[in-house]
Amino acid sequence: MVYHTTLNGLEMWSRHMFEHVGWMILAKRDKRNYKVVAYKKSLAHLRKALEERLAITQDADRILDLKELHFNVMTLVEFVKKNL
């Protein structure tokens, strides 16, 4: 069963992930690898959810919003790959 996330839900999820990257830096410092692993899984899930929503969205304005959100999340993904 596939559940689609709303644009608002994706925005809130993205905001949450950006806000918590600092906590993940501290978790890595403190050797709490399980937290970092869970964060990375959630980030990958967010990326996939954005891509799925982008594939089914038809409204031009929402597509632009989703592309911007996706670009920002991909920047976060690259940062996490390099630093966590």
At residue 13, φ and ψ (nearest 5 deg) are: -60, -45
The model's pTM: 0.93
Question: In this predicted model, what pLDDT tens digit does every residue of 61-81 receive, in sequence order?
Answer: 999 999 999 999 999 999 999
DSSP 3-state of 19: helix
Coil, strand, or helix at residue 21? Answer: helix
Q: Which has the closest alpha carbon to 39: 14, 64, 21?
A: 21
Greatest extent of the chain over all pairs of C-alpha atoms, in Å = 45
* pLDDT tens-digit readout, 2-36: 567 899 999 999 999 999 999 999 999 999 999 99
Q: Tell me how crowded residue 18 is: count the other CB atoms within 10 A of its CB.
A: 13
**Rounded distance, CA 8 to CA 22, Å?**
23
